[in-house]
Structure formats: structure tokens, C-alpha cells
């Protein structure tokens, strides 16, 4: 679901449907009742490849101690408002 133009799509939920066309309509009925969105994508669950909780250590922990990846090692010049 994209909440408004300029934002990216974010996941809002999952639902049952016999095919993509009805999935889109079901999503419209379930998730846009209060004007939550201007655009909907539907993806069959079988098309999603997800990371496994078992791989959490190998996937995500190595990033924890690599502070040099964060842009914190330079001075921000005075007067730059939007950096």
C-alpha cells in the first residue's frame, strides 16, 4: 500500500483470494476503508523469498560493530540546513 504519492509502498497485511485480480479488490475492501492509500500492490505468498529467523546471526549481527558504515566521521559545515 502506498499512503500517498511520493511515499514508497509498505506492507499492510495478508489476505485470501482465488487470483490476483480478486486479491486486488479484496485488498481495496480490507485496507482502504479509511482512505489509507492511493496505490495497492498484491503479491502471491509463494513469490516471496524470506530470510529465516535461524539465519539472524549470520545475516544481521555482523553489521553491529562496523561503525565506519555510518556517516558520522565528518564535520557538518555551519549554515547547511538540509544535510
Which triple of cell numbers denotes residue 77?
559545515
SS3 2: strand
Closest approach of other proteins to the CB of residue 20, in Å: 12
Q: Quick one: which of 7, 9, 29, 38 contacts other proteins (CB under 8 A)?
A: 29
> Taking CB under 8 A as the rule, does residue 43 contact other proteins?
no
We find the least distance from the C-beta atom of residue 52 to other proteins, in angstroms, to be 29
**CA-to-CA dists, residue 52 to 11, 19, 56, 78, angstroms:** 18, 27, 7, 45
- Does position 15 interact with other proteins (CB under 8 A)? The reply is yes
Residues that bind other proteins (CB under 8 A): 15-18, 21-22, 25-26, 29-30, 33
Amino acid at each position: 500500500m502506498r499512503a500517498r504519492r511520493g511515499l514508497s509502498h509498505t506492507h499492510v497485511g495478508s489476505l485470501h483470494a482465488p487470483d490476483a485480480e480478486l486479491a486486488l479488490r479484496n485488498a481495496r475492501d480490507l485496507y482502504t476503508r479509511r482512505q489509507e492509500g492511493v496505490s495497492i500492490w498484491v503479491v502471491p505468498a509463494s513469490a516471496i523469498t524470506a530470510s529465516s529467523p535461524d539465519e539472524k546471526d549470520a545475516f544481521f549481527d555482523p553489521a553491529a560493530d562496523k561503525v565506519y558504515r555510518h556517516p558520522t566521521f565528518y564535520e557538518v559545515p555551519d549554515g547547511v540546513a538540509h544535510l
